[in-house]
Amino acid sequence: MYANSIVELDRAHLIHPVASWRSHEKAGVRLLQSGKGAWVTDALGRQLVDGFSGLWCVNAGYGHESIVEAATRQMRELPYATGYFGLGSEPAARLAAELAERTPGDLNHVYFTLGGSDAVDSAVRFIRYYFGAKGEPQRDQFISLEQGYHGSTTVGAGLTALPVFHNGFGLPFPWQHKIASHYPYRNRATSDAEIIAASVAALKAKVAEIGPDRVAAFFAEPIQGSGGVIVPPHGWMKAMRETCRDLGILFVADEVITGFGRTGPLLASSEDDIVPDLVTVAKGLTSGYAPMGAVFLTEHVYQTIADGAGASLVGHGFTYSAHPVSAAVGLEVLRLYEEGGLLENGRAMGVRLLDGLNGLRDHPLVGDVRGRGMLAAVEMVTDKEAKTPLPAVAEPGRRIFDRAWDNGLIIRAFAHGVLGFAPPLCCTEADIDAIVERTRMVLDLTLADPDIR
Ligand code: PMP
């Protein structure tokens, strides 16, 4: 058992995110103590391979001294600088410039936030400013995908399509609309081209239904993360991007998970060969070592707002926008991705991960294996032919998570029987093999669970 005092402090005072508060009171906290590479150690000294990079964020892996040094140096020099009153800091300006140089096309302007949810909220506000400046303020309707996740602030939660984030809040707002996900494994369409055509048709139909001059933007993740790591067919993002252009609406790529090497390149949008009008990022931007997110704006979107509300005052800001310590961390993390070889290693290990997981297809519970780069999923079913999802037993995600934990593995166990993988890009071959082997154990134990059969 962990030190009782800490468990009790946690139980009595700490509210955990996206949790059953009562179940957590009963179960108590699991205390993580330290980390190195792809491994974390809990407060009892138990070592676990982190197949989920914390919460899809510690892309660089744990224990990078150079990141610690960058943060320490900045804290000593100047721990805080506001961006209000025209003030700023060197790391924030440098990070913005380094990112602008690497983003596809002319996504040249960066607004820093504290994380992904407020990056999504900021994007929504910038889009409203954009259409205000264009003299089209009636374009105030937004579309996103079923199974999509765009944060848990109220606006982001409404764009999100997971009911647990809506219930009790009157969400989604009337101006937030959804179209079906591409979800290839559960799509009735039989070819990639059909899936893409169906999404394009659904977007056009939704815009026509809402009113062609009312829609502002379409938000999509290049790979749907929290909805169960759902990978669209190649060409899907490009088709949706082009459809948005044809419809005169903005296209926002929410790359909070897919950014920073998760799928291979720095941004998944480059792999899809598109330039979205706006991109939201967080997580891998600082590799989780400090909180930070960002919104990238194309030259056109930026200049339009700058000539509109931007010519007087854009009323949008956070105390911790462009925090200098987070920016210093971001600069060092960026160096590690490139000069440190993390992107390259992640690409090689992503192939090994997907190969390994595909090797589990012979298991009776494995219905689907999908992924790109270091982002993957195994979808469990009780009948492969009928693709029958696992039965809704009490807290199925928690049971599966517990089994993984007991076998020294951290992965995401989505409630509907999907196992999510997002290992650090620094993984060695042995780390990837450990993740795959331990996943087989989790599958075996799940198969033996009398409630699941
Ligand atoms: N968008 C996407 C695609 C995400 O996956 C997430 C978080 N998982 C968010 C937005 C919200 O980010 P945060 O939790 O940093 O607020």
φ, ψ for residue 316, nearest 5 deg: -150, 115
Q: Which residues pair with 370 in a beta bridge?
A: 377
pLDDT band at 3 (very low <50, low <70, confident <90, very high): confident
Same domain, 231 and 374: no
According to the model, what pLDDT value does residue 415 have?
A: 78
Separation of alpha carbons 51 and 47, rounded Å:
13
CB atoms within 10 A of CB 9: 12
Residues 6+ apart with CB under 8 A from 347: 264, 373
Q: Of 310, 338, 366, which residue constitutes the final position of a domain?
A: 338
256 touches ligand 1 (CB under 6 Å)? yes
User: For residue 388, what are its two tokens?
Assistant: 């029958």
| Cα(182) to centroid(ligand 1), Å | 20
Counting ligand 1 atoms within 8 A of each CB, the residue from 53, 117, 269 with the most, and so the one to mutate, is: 117
pLDDT per residue over 398-424, tens digit each?
A: 889 999 999 999 999 987 899 999 999
**Mean of the per-residue pLDDT values of the chain:** 96
pLDDT per residue over 76-126, tens digit each?
A: 999 999 999 999 999 999 999 999 999 999 999 999 999 999 999 999 999
Same domain, 267 and 408: no
In a domain, 14, yes or no: no
In a domain, 386, yes or no: yes
Q: Of 308, 338, 368, which residue constitutes the final position of a domain?
A: 338
Q: Of 312, 338, 364, which residue constitutes the final position of a domain?
A: 338
Same domain, 141 and 222: yes
The pLDDT of residue 395 is above 70: no
pLDDT band at 394 (very low <50, low <70, confident <90, very high): low
Separation of alpha carbons 25 and 7, rounded Å:
10
| Cα(370) to centroid(ligand 1), Å | 21
| Cα(354) to centroid(ligand 1), Å | 24
Do you find a cis peptide bond into 172, omega within 30 degrees of 0? yes
151 touches ligand 1 (CB under 6 Å)? yes
Same domain, 43 and 88: no
Separation of alpha carbons 425 and 64, rounded Å:
13
CB 199 within 8 A of CB 240: yes
In a domain, 280, yes or no: yes
Residues 6+ apart with CB under 8 A from 380: 365, 366, 367, 390, 417, 418, 419, 443, 446
pLDDT per residue over 330-339, tens digit each?
A: 999 999 999 9
pLDDT per residue over 282-327, tens digit each?
A: 999 999 999 999 999 999 999 999 999 999 999 999 999 999 999 9
Q: Could you tell me the CATH number of the domain that includes residue 162? A: 3.40.640.10
Same domain, 240 and 172: yes
Residue whose tokens read 């602008």:
100
Residue ranges of E strands in 387-451: 388-389, 409-410, 412-414, 418-421
Atom of ligand 1 nearest to the CA of 226: 5
In a domain, 131, yes or no: yes
In a domain, 19, yes or no: no
| Cα(111) to centroid(ligand 1), Å | 16
Domain span including residue 428: 31-63+341-447
Domains of the chain: total: 2
Separation of alpha carbons 164 and 44, rounded Å:
33
Same domain, 208 and 238: yes
Which of 215-224, 382-391, 422-431 shows the lowest mean pLDDT across its residues?
382-391
290 touches ligand 1 (CB under 6 Å)? no
225 touches ligand 1 (CB under 6 Å)? yes
